[in-house]
Chains A and B, each alone.
Chain A
Amino acid sequence: MSEKNEFFLSRWFKRAFHGSDQEIRNIMEEEQVETPFRTIAKNFFAKHTVRVGLTGFILVFLLVLIGPRFWVLDLSEQDSSLVNLPPGNNMMSIPSALRGKIRDIAAGRTYGVAVDTDGKLFTWGHTKITDKIDIANIPDEVRNADLVMFAAGDDHVTAMDENRQLYVWGNTRLQQGNFTNEMKKGMKNPDESWDIIQLEASNQFSAALSSDGTLYLWGNSNLADIKLRKQYQGNIAKVALTSNEYICLLKDGTVAYTGYKDKGSVFAEIPEVLNNTRVVDIAATSSTVAAVTADGRVVVWGNAKNGEKNIPEFSAPAKNIYGGRFHYVAWLENGEVLAWGSNKYHQTDVPASLHKNGNIKEIFTGNFQNYAVMNDGSVVTWGLKGFLLGTDGLGRDMLTRIVNGGRITMTVGAISVVIAAFIGIVLGGLAGYFGGTTDLVIMRIAEIVGGLPFIPFAMILSAVIGSRLDPTQRMYLIMVVLGVLSWTGMCRLVRAQILAQREMEYVTAARAMGIRESSIVFRHILPNIMSLVLVSLTLDFATCMLTESTLSYLGFGIPLPTPTWGNLLQGANNSIVIQQYWWQWVFPAAIFGFCTICINMIGDGLRDAVDPKSAER
Chain B
Amino acid sequence: MGKYILKRCGYIVLVFLILSFLMYALYNLIPSDPARQELEPMRHSLKANEYEALYRQTRQQMGLDDPLIIRYLRWMGMWRDTDGTCNGVLQGNFGYSNFYKNSVIEVIKAPMGNTIFINIFSTILSLGITIPLGIYCAVHKGKRFDGAMQVVTMLGYSIPVYIIALVLMFLFCVVWRIFPIMGTKTPGMTYANKWQEFADMLYHIALPVIVMTIGSLGGMTRYVRSSMIDALSMDYIRTARAKGLKEKVVIYSHAWRNALLPVITSILGWFLSIFSGSVIIENTFSLNGMGRLYWQGLNNLDFELVLAIQMFYSIVSLVGSLLIDISYGFVDPRVRVDK
* A contact residues vs B (CB 8 Å cutoff): 444, 447-448, 451-453, 455-457, 459-461, 463-465, 467-468, 542, 546, 549-550, 553-556, 569, 572-573, 575, 578-579, 582, 585, 589, 592-593, 596-597, 599-601, 604, 614, 616-617
**B218 — nearest CB in chain A belongs to which residue?**
A600
Interface residues in B270-286 by Cβ distance below 8 A to A read: 276, 279-280, 283-284
- With the chains together, A578 CA to B155 CA distance in Å? 22
B294 at the interface (CB under 8 A from A): yes
**B11 — nearest CB in chain A belongs to which residue?**
A444
Is the beta-carbon distance between A556 and B283 smaller than 8 angstroms?
A: no
Interface residues in B282-305 by Cβ distance below 8 A to A read: 283-284, 291, 294-295, 298-299
What is the CB-to-nearest-CB distance from B320 to chain A, in angstroms, rounded to a whole number? Answer: 8
**Chain A interface SS verdict (over half):** helix
**Chain B interface SS verdict (over half):** helix
A546-B160, A589-B167 given; A456·B299 CB < 8 A: no
Provide the residues of chain A in CB contact with B91, threshold 8 Å.
none
What is the CB-to-nearest-CB distance from B238 to chain A, in angstroms, rounded to a whole number? Answer: 16
Is the beta-carbon distance between A596 and B295 smaller than 8 angstroms?
A: no
Provide the residues of chain B in CB contact with A457, threshold 8 Å.
310
B6 at the interface (CB under 8 A from A): no
Is the beta-carbon distance between B26 and A451 smaller than 8 angstroms?
A: no
Apart from A464-B30, A596-B159, list 18 A-B contacts with CB within 8 A.
Answer: A453-B314, A455-B280, A456-B276, A550-B280, A553-B162, A553-B280, A554-B280, A573-B162, A573-B283, A573-B284, A578-B169, A578-B174, A579-B174, A582-B170, A589-B166, A597-B159, A600-B157, A600-B158
Task: With a 10 A CB-CB cut-off, give which of A464, A467, A555, A572 has the most chain B CB atoms.
Answer: A464
Provide the residues of chain A in CB contact with B29, threshold 8 Å.
464-465
The one of A452, A465, A549, A550 that contacts B317, using a Cβ cutoff of 8 Å: A452
- With the chains together, A4 CA to B284 CA distance in Å? 60
The one of A460, A546, A573, A593 that contacts B26, using a Cβ cutoff of 8 Å: A460
Is the beta-carbon distance between B313 and A456 smaller than 8 angstroms?
A: yes
Is the beta-carbon distance between B158 and A593 smaller than 8 angstroms?
A: yes
What is the CB-to-nearest-CB distance from B24 to chain A, in angstroms, rounded to a whole number? Answer: 12
B154 at the interface (CB under 8 A from A): yes
Provide the residues of chain B in CB contact with A601, threshold 8 Å.
154
Provide the residues of chain B in CB contact with A614, threshold 8 Å.
226
Task: With a 10 A CB-CB cut-off, give which of B31, B167, B276 has the most chain A CB atoms.
Answer: B167
Is the beta-carbon distance between A617 and B230 smaller than 8 angstroms?
A: yes
- With the chains together, A476 CA to B5 CA distance in Å? 41
B15 at the interface (CB under 8 A from A): yes
- With the chains together, A592 CA to B163 CA distance in Å? 9
- With the chains together, A542 CA to B23 CA distance in Å? 29
**B291 — nearest CB in chain A belongs to which residue?**
A456
What is the CB-to-nearest-CB distance from A573 to chain B, in angstroms, rounded to a whole number? Answer: 6
* B contact residues vs A (CB 8 Å cutoff): 15, 18-19, 23, 26-27, 29-31, 141, 154-155, 157-160, 162-163, 166-167, 169-170, 173-174, 181-182, 225-226, 229-230, 233, 276, 279-280, 283-284, 291, 294-295, 298-299, 306, 309-310, 313-314, 317-318, 320-321
Is the beta-carbon distance between B26 and A464 smaller than 8 angstroms?
A: yes
- With the chains together, A554 CA to B318 CA distance in Å? 25
The one of A452, A596, A597, A616 that contacts B314, using a Cβ cutoff of 8 Å: A452
Is the beta-carbon distance between A451 and B225 smaller than 8 angstroms?
A: no
The one of B160, B182, B317 that contacts A453, using a Cβ cutoff of 8 Å: B317
Provide the residues of chain B in CB contact with A452, threshold 8 Å.
313-314, 317
- With the chains together, A178 CA to B312 CA distance in Å? 62
24 chain-A/chain-B pairs, Cβ below 8 angstroms: A444-B15, A447-B321, A448-B15, A451-B317, A451-B320, A451-B321, A452-B314, A453-B313, A455-B279, A456-B310, A464-B26, A468-B31, A549-B160, A554-B280, A575-B173, A575-B182, A578-B169, A593-B155, A593-B163, A596-B158, A596-B160, A599-B158, A617-B229, A617-B230
Is the beta-carbon distance between A575 and B181 smaller than 8 angstroms?
A: yes
A460-B306, A464-B29 given; A597·B155 CB < 8 A: yes
Is the beta-carbon distance between B160 and A550 smaller than 8 angstroms?
A: yes
**B307 — nearest CB in chain A belongs to which residue?**
A460
**A573 — nearest CB in chain B belongs to which residue?**
B284
Provide the residues of chain B in CB contact with A596, threshold 8 Å.
158-160
- With the chains together, A616 CA to B31 CA distance in Å? 56
- With the chains together, A455 CA to B279 CA distance in Å? 8
Provide the residues of chain A in CB contact with B284, threshold 8 Å.
573
Is the beta-carbon distance between B295 and A554 smaller than 8 angstroms?
A: yes
**A593 — nearest CB in chain B belongs to which residue?**
B159
**A463 — nearest CB in chain B belongs to which residue?**
B298
- With the chains together, A455 CA to B283 CA distance in Å? 13
**B175 — nearest CB in chain A belongs to which residue?**
A579
Is the beta-carbon distance between B154 and A569 smaller than 8 angstroms?
A: no
**A553 — nearest CB in chain B belongs to which residue?**
B162
Instruction: Sort A-B residue pairs by CB-CB distance and give the 7 closest, nearest first.
Output: A597-B158, A596-B158, A589-B163, A593-B159, A451-B317, A617-B229, A600-B158
The one of B18, B162, B173, B174 that contacts A550, using a Cβ cutoff of 8 Å: B162
Provide the residues of chain A in CB contact with B294, threshold 8 Å.
456, 459
Task: With a 10 A CB-CB cut-off, give which of A556, A578, A600, A617 has the most chain B CB atoms.
Answer: A617
Provide the residues of chain A in CB contact with B170, threshold 8 Å.
578-579, 582
Is the beta-carbon distance between B19 and A597 smaller than 8 angstroms?
A: no
A463-B298, A578-B170 given; A617·B158 CB < 8 A: no
**A468 — nearest CB in chain B belongs to which residue?**
B31
What is the CB-to-nearest-CB distance from B278 to chain A, in angstroms, rounded to a whole number? Answer: 9
Is the beta-carbon distance between B298 and A585 smaller than 8 angstroms?
A: no
- With the chains together, A593 CA to B156 CA distance in Å? 10
Provide the residues of chain B in CB contact with A578, threshold 8 Å.
166, 169-170, 173-174, 181
The one of B162, B169, B229 that contacts A616, using a Cβ cutoff of 8 Å: B229
- With the chains together, A596 CA to B157 CA distance in Å? 9
Provide the residues of chain A in CB contact with B298, threshold 8 Å.
459-460, 463, 556
- With the chains together, A444 CA to B23 CA distance in Å? 18
What is the CB-to-nearest-CB distance from B187 to chain A, in angstroms, rounded to a whole number? Answer: 14
What is the CB-to-nearest-CB distance from A54 to chain B, in angstroms, rounded to a whole number? Answer: 15
Task: With a 10 A CB-CB cut-off, give which of A460, A549, A585 has the most chain B CB atoms.
Answer: A460
The one of B141, B159, B310 that contacts A460, using a Cβ cutoff of 8 Å: B310
The one of B31, B173, B225 that contacts A617, using a Cβ cutoff of 8 Å: B225
- With the chains together, A573 CA to B284 CA distance in Å? 6
- With the chains together, A585 CA to B314 CA distance in Å? 34
- With the chains together, A553 CA to B278 CA distance in Å? 14
Provide the residues of chain A in CB contact with B31, threshold 8 Å.
468
Provide the residues of chain A in CB contact with B159, threshold 8 Å.
593, 596-597
What is the CB-to-nearest-CB distance from B272 to chain A, in angstroms, rounded to a whole number? Answer: 9
Provide the residues of chain B in CB contact with A569, threshold 8 Å.
162-163, 166
Provide the residues of chain A in CB contact with B230, threshold 8 Å.
617
Is the beta-carbon distance between B283 and A554 smaller than 8 angstroms?
A: yes
**A575 — nearest CB in chain B belongs to which residue?**
B181
**B306 — nearest CB in chain A belongs to which residue?**
A460
- With the chains together, A542 CA to B158 CA distance in Å? 8
**B159 — nearest CB in chain A belongs to which residue?**
A593
Is the beta-carbon distance between B313 and A459 smaller than 8 angstroms?
A: no
**B155 — nearest CB in chain A belongs to which residue?**
A597
- With the chains together, A569 CA to B173 CA distance in Å? 18
